Structure 1
Amino acid sequence: MWESFRTLFKNYLRLEKSLSDHSIQAYVRDVEKLEQYLQANGKEKYRPQDVTLEDLQQCIKWIFDLGMSATSQARIISGLKAFYKFLLLEDMTKEDPSQLLEAPKTSRKLPDVLTFEEIEQMIAAIDLVDPRKKEDEGIIYEGYRNKAILETMYSCGLRVSEVTSLQISQVYLDIGFVKVIGKGNKERIVPMGTAARNEISFYLKRIRPNFPVKYGDEDTLFLNRRGRALSRVMIFLIIKELAEKAGIKKVVSPHTFRHSFATHLVEGGADLRVVQEMLGHESITTTEIYTHIDREFLRDTLRQFHPRF
Structure 2
Amino acid sequence: MKWKTAIKDYTFYLKIERGLSDNSVQGYIRDITKLEKYLEENSITTTPLVITDEILQQFIYEASKNLKATSLARLISGIKNFFSYLVFEDLRKDNPAELLESPKTGRKLPDVLSIEEIDMLIAAIDLSSPEGQRNKAILETLYGCGLRVSELITLKISDLFFDEGFIKVTGKGNKDRFVPIANTTMKYINIYVQEIRCHLNIDPQFSDNVFLNRRGKQLTRAMIFTIIKQLSEKIGLQKKISPHTFRHSFATHLLQNGANLIAIQQMLGHSSITTTEIYMHLDRQHLSEVMQNFHPRKH
| Length-normalised TM-score, structure 1 | 0.86
Partner of 1:70: 69
Q: 1: distance between equivalents of 2:63 and 2:136? A: 43
Q: CA deviation at 1:221?
A: 0.3
Partner of 2:5: 4
Partner of 2:51: 51
Q: What are the Cα deviations for residues 163-200 of structure 1, in whole angstroms up to 9, with x where unaligned?
A: 10111001111111111111111111111112101111
Listed as ranges, the matches of 1:110-189 within 5 Å are 110-129=109-128, 141-189=130-178
- Verify the 8 A CA contact 2:52 2:96 in the aligned structure 1: yes
Q: What are the Cα deviations for residues 34-57 of structure 1, in whole angstroms up to 9, with x where unaligned?
A: 234444555432x21212333322
Q: 2: distance between equivalents of 1:260 and 1:41? A: 45
Partner of 1:87: 86
Q: CA deviation at 1:58?
A: 2.5
Q: 2: distance between equivalents of 1:39 and 1:141? A: 50
Q: What are the Cα deviations for residues 7-40 of structure 1, in whole angstroms up to 9, with x where unaligned?
A: 1011111222233333323212211222344445
Secondary structure of the 1:49 match is coil
Q: 1: distance between equivalents of 2:49 and 2:121? A: 53
Partner of 1:25: 26
Farther-moved stretch of structure 1 (185-194 vs 237-246): 237-246
Farther-moved stretch of structure 1 (165-174 vs 95-104): 95-104
Q: 1: distance between equivalents of 2:45 and 2:137? A: 56
- Verify the 8 A CA contact 1:272 1:287 in the aligned structure 2: yes
- Verify the 8 A CA contact 1:37 1:62 in the aligned structure 2: no
Q: Provide the alpha-carbon RMSD of the alignment.
A: 2.0
Q: CA deviation at 1:296?
A: 7.6
- Verify the 8 A CA contact 1:178 1:190 in the aligned structure 2: yes
Partner of 1:102: 101
Q: 2: distance between equivalents of 1:144 and 1:33? A: 42
Calculate percent identity across the aligned residue pairs: 53
Partner of 2:248: 259
Q: 2: distance between equivalents of 1:202 and 1:35? A: 50
User: 1:9 and 1:208, CA in 2 relative to 1: closer, same or farther beyond 3 A?
Assistant: same
Secondary structure of the 1:111 match is coil
Partner of 2:264: 275
- Verify the 8 A CA contact 1:173 1:201 in the aligned structure 2: no
Partner of 2:212: 223
Q: CA deviation at 1:254?
A: 0.7
Secondary structure of the 2:194 match is helix
Farther-moved stretch of structure 1 (280-289 vs 29-38): 29-38
Report how many aligned residue pairs link the two structures. Answer: 287
Farther-moved stretch of structure 1 (20-29 vs 86-95): 20-29
1:244 aligns with 2:233: yes
- Verify the 8 A CA contact 2:280 2:287 in the aligned structure 1: no
Q: 1: distance between equivalents of 2:28 and 2:135? A: 33
Q: 2: distance between equivalents of 1:297 and 1:84? A: 44
Q: 1: distance between equivalents of 2:73 and 2:285? A: 26
1:209 aligns with 2:208: no
The letter for the 2-side match of 1:34 is: L
Q: What are the Cα deviations for residues 108-148 of structure 1, in whole angstroms up to 9, with x where unaligned?
A: 2222211011111111112223xxxxxxxxxx622211111
1:294 aligns with 2:280: no
In structure 1, runs of 5+ residues without a counterpart are 130-139, 300-309
- Verify the 8 A CA contact 1:126 1:143 in the aligned structure 2: yes
User: 1:188 and 1:55, CA in 2 relative to 1: closer, same or farther beyond 3 A?
Assistant: same
Q: CA deviation at 1:281?
A: 1.4
Q: 2: distance between equivalents of 1:257 and 1:230? A: 18
Q: 2: distance between equivalents of 1:253 and 1:296? A: 26
In structure 2, runs of 5+ residues without a counterpart are 289-299
- Verify the 8 A CA contact 1:217 1:227 in the aligned structure 2: yes
Q: 1: distance between equivalents of 2:37 and 2:121? A: 45
Partner of 1:137: none
Secondary structure of the 2:169 match is strand
| Length-normalised TM-score, structure 2 | 0.89
The letter for the 2-side match of 1:121 is: M
